[in-house]
Structure 1
Amino acid sequence: MDGVDIVVPGGCIAGITGENGAGKTTLLRVLLGDLKPDAGRVLFGGSRGYCPQVPVLNLSLTVAQHLLLFKTAYRLPSTDRAEGLMARLNFASCLGQEAGKLSGGTQQKLNLTLALMHDPDVVILDEPYQGLDYESYQVFWELAAELRDCGRTVLVVTHFVPDATPFDLLFRLSGGRLHAEERSQ
């Protein structure tokens, strides 16, 4: 990558798109602090939530055990927000199921719930709707809009943008450079 410069303000849903191999994963790793940038810096305001493309779950733990683990990690008083997200994403009945026995789409819903359950200021989502059914895809965008409307920063990194409407800002990563997409609204 060469000279990537991006500012995503609070109260905004931004997207970064690009073909496979364009450098999205490398950019994500820099944003998350896994890779040091060659130059420049990455600044965030507030807490972060990250939803990776491949769910990072302990397949032998139940959904409820995951919620308790993340409740402790985030120092939350309860799992109420997570349970509300689960209801919205239509998998609240899965609390007692082991993560390894969930479908891929339901694992992705759990992944998303874990990333959002502490109500972060900045949410970074890597291919977040991969494996979701249409109804859950719609709920995903409702949640993203609610986060934006509460002043949160939402960054969606994806190779596929079927509809650019939900994005306030959209960038294309190509040739190692980030280009703002022209949008008509």
Structure 2
Amino acid sequence: MGDSGTTELYLQEDTYSALAFKPVPGVHGPHSWGMALLGDPEIRLTTVPKAIEFHRGIEGSRKQLHLQSLRNYWVERVRDLPGMQILTPDDTARHGAVTSFRLPAMRDYTQAQKMATLLLKKHRVLTVARTGIAQGSAVRVAPTLYNTHQELDRLVAALRQESGAFV
């Protein structure tokens, strides 16, 4: 569920000169710069300082409760699917928002990748295939602070529609 177009980038002040920076039109200020790195002119970091400021203004325990409620929202709606295994414990002391699931046919990484690709391409839901997990591969769902119940409903509907092919 994460945003595939955003990433966090930390640069030390003395490394700026090693990168190809260019100004962002119409934006001014000490943190209002755009960046072309590795030839990609679409990378923009103009909102990172504002995002950091916003996150610092929200108490950590409030973030945790919200993320856990998002996790529980979708998990409660798919737990009854035939063969569905929720691989993250329900105990809130043992999870945040990230939760992996597995269906019976996902015993290898190829099948987990197939599900993650299907969720993204057909349903526009970003998940990640995981390997190295006991008893087979799985798919990881990672709601973020800004995800809505409507977006999670799309995940739930997608899992309900596609899970039969993985049983």
Q: Which has the higher contact order (CA 8 A, sep 6+)?
A: 1
**Which of the two has higher C-alpha Rg?**
2
TM-score by length of 2: 0.24
Q: Which has the higher strand share?
A: 1
